[in-house]
Amino acid sequence: MLQVARIQGGRKLQGTIHVAGSKNAALPILAATLLTTEKVVLHNVPDLSDVRFMVEILQHQGAEISQPKKGIWIIQARKIIHRTPYDLVRKMRASVCLLGALVGRLRQAEMAIPGGCVIGPRPIDLHLKGLEALGCIVSVENGLVTIDAQHSKGDTVFMGGPMGSTVTGTANIIMAATTTPGMTTIESAAQEPEVVDLCTFLIKMGAKISGQGTPTIKVEGVDSLHGCEHFIIPDRIEAGTYLVAGAITDGDVTVKGANANHLTAFLDKLREAGVQVETGADYIRAHGRPSRAVEIVTEPYPGFPTDLQAQFMALQLLVDGRSTITEKVYPSRFMHAAELQRMGAEISVDGPTAAVYGDRPLSGAPVMASDLRASAALILAALAAKGETWVQRLYHLDRGYEHFEERLRALGADIERLPAAAMPKGFAED
């Protein structure tokens, strides 16, 4: 049943929220549990539709899975199959992380090639090029990719592409290399904290990895991996989203459990925009609305994260002057701009750059979410808008934010989740 969010803007958000575990760390780590026949216990796993979907895929592969309590998953992949069908893969691109785990465990994989999505084409050419560099035989036909890694061996793999490195591509090569004989050196590796957390997890399983968090990662193949217990890192994108919620409402929000070191580029831009930011060992606080237009360029980590671009665009709507956002990771990731314009924003998109002319009065309107981070950005703008906003297609939001509207309400927002039928006549999409 389709659900919508109704938001009445104008409330200041104040208080503290506890950040959940990282979606983009949990998904590759869940895939990596297939690398061993032994039991794995994961803690601080976020309660998201993408996580539940990855669990469903692991069960399809043959893993035994239980959830003794919220946030804790116990997984044991005693015997698994190497095929992953299209009807599972097409629903979530991150299922591509299974490739590296299946190659690492079974020396073979067969998976439908994941499609694109609204934020842009989501090719996996770099993933496949990396596996070929390890001596895998990769064939692609009828929308299926088949990998034969019987004779793979460690080698040097270059993971850079036209948009920089690839996060899940790096994760796949690391997972495949853990049991590939010899030394694998990954050049132009992704440096995201989520890749580092995957490596921390794999090392607990007995993998031999060094250089994680730098552009060069080395993996020495071992015969097999064993079970372990792991606590997923906090979600830096969720943390950044709530900090914007505090700033966009001229409020005062503290995110507990967040690691400020994972958000340096983003916090730097928040401060440049005039928001007061304080950080401690396990919290980040943002208060006061922005006052300055800034220019941001999204880049692979440690640059400004593309996953906080839409939220930052919403924030810049409050600021007089011209801000610019240049997307160097997903050049067409501006679906949210058109919906923000329905709320009164003035934004002009020219290829990979969006110019935001801020300080226009924002008014509530019925808007449509198009993807995960766009849905958060629309809600953030609605918090600052005058009047009532209805955000449709909330399923996008539930992929990556745990109980978002409940937690915003706890900070003082006037927001509720309703069935789509509750919308005023004529608002609902056909």
- Residues marked active site are found at 117
Q: Three-state DSSP class for 64?
A: strand
187 in contact with ligand EPZ (CB under 6 A)? no
Choosing from 105, 127, 236, 336, the residue that interacts with ligand EPZ (CB under 6 A) is 127
123 in contact with ligand EPZ (CB under 6 A)? yes
Euclidean distance between CA atoms 339 and 342, whole angstroms: 5
Euclidean distance between CA atoms 18 and 182, whole angstroms: 42
Tokens of 418: 């309703």
Count of residues interacting with ligand EPZ (CB under 6 A)? 27
177 in contact with ligand EPZ (CB under 6 A)? no
Choosing from 34, 75, 94, 318, the residue that interacts with ligand EPZ (CB under 6 A) is 94
Q: Which residue's CB is nearer to ligand EPZ, number 169 or number 290?
A: 169
CA dihedral of 323, 325, 326, 328, whole degrees rounded to 10: 150
- How does strand 137-141 pair with strand 144-148? antiparallel
Choosing from 65, 163, 349, 428, the residue that interacts with ligand EPZ (CB under 6 A) is 163
Q: Please state the closest distance from residue 280 (CB atom) to ligand EPZ, in A.
A: 26
299 to 318, contacts with ligand EPZ by CB under 6 A? 306-307
Q: Which residue's CB is nearer to ligand EPZ, number 163 or number 297?
A: 163
E-state strands within 365-413: 366-368, 388-392
Q: Burial level of 200, CB count in 10 A (0-12/13-18/19+)?
A: middle
Q: Which stretch binds ligand EPZ (CB under 6 A): 138-146, 165-173, 340-348, 412-420?
A: 165-173
Choosing from 244, 286, 372, 415, the residue that interacts with ligand EPZ (CB under 6 A) is 372
Q: Please state the closest distance from residue 412 (CB atom) to ligand EPZ, in A.
A: 26
Binding mask 250-289 for ligand EPZ (x = CB under 6 A): ----------------------------------------
Paired with 388 in beta bridges are 8
Distances from the Cα of 76 to the Cα of 23, 139, 150, 428, angstroms: 20, 30, 24, 44
Q: Which residue's CB is nearer to ligand EPZ, number 166 or number 179?
A: 166
Tokens of 355: 């110019």
CA dihedral of 247, 250, 256, 261, whole degrees rounded to 10: 30
Q: Backbone phi, then psi, for 372, in 5-degree steps?
A: -55, -55
Q: Which residue's CB is nearer to ligand EPZ, number 23 or number 107?
A: 23
Q: Which residues contact 123 (CB under 8 A, 6 or more apart)?
A: none
Tokens of 374: 């766009």
Choosing from 133, 136, 167, 245, the residue that interacts with ligand EPZ (CB under 6 A) is 167
Q: Please state the closest distance from residue 89 (CB atom) to ligand EPZ, in A.
A: 13
Q: Please state the closest distance from residue 420 (CB atom) to ligand EPZ, in A.
A: 23
CA dihedral of 161, 175, 372, 259, whole degrees rounded to 10: -100
The residue length of the chain stands at 430
126 in contact with ligand EPZ (CB under 6 A)? yes
27 to 46, contacts with ligand EPZ by CB under 6 A? 27
Q: Which residue's CB is nearer to ligand EPZ, number 13 or number 189?
A: 189
Distances from the Cα of 342 to the Cα of 346, 362, 366, 411, angstroms: 9, 9, 8, 26
Choosing from 125, 229, 278, 320, the residue that interacts with ligand EPZ (CB under 6 A) is 125
Q: Which stretch binds ligand EPZ (CB under 6 A): 12-20, 81-89, 163-171, 178-186?
A: 163-171
Q: Please state the closest distance from residue 313 (CB atom) to ligand EPZ, in A.
A: 14
Q: Yes or no: say if 387 and 361 are a contact pair by the CB < 8 Å rule.
A: no
Q: Which stretch binds ligand EPZ (CB under 6 A): 78-86, 118-126, 205-213, 401-409?
A: 118-126
9 in contact with ligand EPZ (CB under 6 A)? no
Distances from the Cα of 152 to the Cα of 27, 132, 134, 262, angstroms: 25, 9, 5, 34
Q: Which residue's CB is nearer to ligand EPZ, number 252 or number 371?
A: 371
90 in contact with ligand EPZ (CB under 6 A)? no
Q: Which residue's CB is nearer to ligand EPZ, number 71 or number 161?
A: 161
Stated as kind and residue range, the H or E segment containing 307 is none
Residues that bind ligand EPZ (CB under 6 A): 23-24, 27, 93-94, 120-127, 161, 163, 166-169, 194, 306-307, 329-330, 372-373, 400
